[in-house]
Amino acid sequence: MDFELSLKETVEKHQLMAQKSLGQNFLLNENITDKIIRTSLDCQNLPDFSGRYVYEVGPGPGGLTRAVLKQKPQKLTVVEMDARCVQIMTDLQKQTDVPMNIIQGDALQTDFALFDCEPRQVVSNLPYHISVPLLTRWLENLGSFEALTLMFQREVAERIMASIQTKSYGRLSVLAQLTARIDKLMDLNPQCFVPAPKVWSSVLLFRPLSHRPSTPDLKKVSLLTERAFGQRRKMIRQSLKAYPLLEEACQTLHIPLTARAEELTPQQFLDLALILSK
């Protein structure tokens, strides 16, 4: 698929300077954006996006957008707050035979699970300041999606994939690992972006586990881990003392009351949340 202008020419035409308030760092190298999408598809054993409804958050100048369009989705929906980028999406819409839906709005207020048919996939170079709230929301409804291909600050990606008894292990690790199979697709040097951020980025692929907590149960885990990791250096008999059944639950599950949050596995947090919420 050929586009009228290159990404660099598109940015120049629209005088598109990244806005810090919107968490914008643009990825303008089409070799990299194509590689991200191709690597995600390969990991899923898919030849392309045929028959799939793809959603992109924060497309910016359209690097990942172009890479997605080349892979022939059934439909592409983009959600963008910046009016300048919405205009770029409108230009792309005229250059492709892939049906495109352009939403100017806040992704945090958008429920993709209500749109279109399945299978649904999400692709995004996530705005850094909303990456964790967005991911948490998607994890709570991960059964609505076939896969999520998401870019994070590398530090956030490390938290998502962290093992127990490590400094990076926390609430996000528990929620993600209870619901998804997570594969790291690649790391990206800051120099890949305009402007260059101060940190590396990582692209992760999330696919729903066949056995995962229901949305209500995951919300129970979310509350429990928020309390436990909110005082991560304290023993759980202190950090979770608000739960009257704590001692009984820990005895049933053979969890020492002297354990700290980082010593409990995701499964132990789930088991504990289910007992304590009774």
- The helix/strand/coil state of 32 is helix
**Separation of alpha carbons 147 and 137, rounded Å:** 14
- Predicted local confidence at residue 5, as pLDDT: 80
Question: For residue 248, which amino acid is it?
Answer: E
Q: For 78-91, what is each residue's pLDDT tens digit?
A: 999 888 899 999 99
- Write down all domains in the chain, each with its CATH number in brackets: 7-208 (3.40.50.150), 215-276 (1.10.8.100)
Helices (H) and strands (E) in the chain, counts: 11, 9
Q: Mapping DSSP to helix (H, G, I), strand (E, B) and coil, where does residue 273 land? A: helix
Longest dimension (CA), the chain: 66
Q: Judging by DSSP bridges, how do beta strands 100-104 and 75-80 pair with one another?
A: parallel
In this predicted model, what pLDDT tens digit does every residue of 237-269 receive, in sequence order? 999 999 999 999 999 999 999 999 999 999 999
Sequence-ordered list of residues with C-beta below 8 angstroms from that of 23, at least 6 positions apart, any chain: 58, 127, 128, 129, 130
